[in-house]
Each structure stands twice: as C-alpha cells, then as structure tokens.
Chain A
Amino acid sequence: MSDVMNWIDEQVKSNDIILFMKGTPDAPMCGFSGQVVQILDYLNVPYAGVNVLSSDELRNAIKVYSDWPTIPQLYVKGEFIGGCDIVREMFQKGELQALLDEKGIVAGAEQD
C-alpha cells in the first residue's frame, strides 16, 4: 500500500467514527457532506472529519480504499458504512442509531 493508503487505513482503524468529506464538520463544502455532518451532529456522537479537498492524492485514494466513487464516506469502527444516501436512509429508518448502539458508541461522549 502507498503511504496515503496506509494513512487512511490507520485513521479508519483508530477513530470509532470517521467521516471523509468535502470541507470540515464546521464548514462543509458540499451539500452531501453537509447532510452527513448534520446527521452525526443530531445524533450527538463524537467523530473525526477529514477534508479530502486538502489533497488530490487523498481524494483519489479514499475512493480506491473503499471501492466507492463518491465523497462523503462514513466509517464506523473500521467498517465502511456508506455515502450520503445510505447514511440518510439508515438514519431515517433508525438503523444508524441501532448500529452505533451495537458498536458501543455513546452519544454525548467527548472525542478523545
């Protein structure tokens, strides 16, 4: 694996919830990324945000890493959960909350 792939892998494995997005959680640069931020904020769970616009190499590598052509991409406990559509659909059906419960992620906890 290239350095950037290794870096992605480390981030995915070391953060309980990590969102690869366009922009930052405070200032999303794309409506789809913004929607996932809103859902995570609503659920009040701690997560790391990685801005793929900071590097073309990163932006391309994350698509290869997950075999997924678009940003945002949400990972929970090392597992790729999906992009905006899947996250929204899971949230609306209560499945995202169930998944986070199952993975032992506590709402309101501080990001370490």
Chain B
Amino acid sequence: MAMDAKQIEHLIREALPDAEIEIRDLAGDGDHYAATVVSRAFVGKTRVQQHQLVYQALKGAMGGELHALALQTSAPKD
C-alpha cells in the first residue's frame, strides 16, 4: 500500500513541529520517497537516533505500508 507525500510530511511535522521537511517522490509511484528533515530535535543526537525519531513519527508505517523512504537528517546549521 502506498502513502501520500503529504501524509508523510504531516506525520513528521506532528512529532517535530520545527522541522524543515523536503519530500521527493523518487519513482512517481507513491511508494519510493526521499526525505530531508532538519530539526532542532536532532541536536546532539547520532544519525541512528535522528532517524529513529523520524521513524517513530511515522508510527510504524516505515517498513510496512511505506516501503522506501531514503532519509537524510541533520540539525540546523546556525
């Protein structure tokens, strides 16, 4: 089952309200996305912890209905 980019963004935004989120539909099939997420919540966290925060925001969709979400996370540069 595919998932809408807006839905992905909404879930991430709900958990990380300050996040800058960019989502690209890689294959145009609503099933393969790439997301860049920048949030203050990532400060001082390892990449694994940052990705885990995003996966938690997606509430189990990742690895289930959301097959492929290439993720790049970082804390704001300022």
Contact = CB atoms under 8 A, between A and B. Distances in A.
Interface of A: 32, 63, 67-70, 80-86, 89-90
A85 B51 contact: yes
B60 A80 contact: no
B63 interface: yes
A70 B52 CA distance: 11
Interface string B15-55: 00000000000000000000000000000000110011001
A81 B62 contact: no
A82 B71 CA distance: 11
A36 to B, nearest CB: 13
Contact of B47 (A63, A69, A82, A84): A82
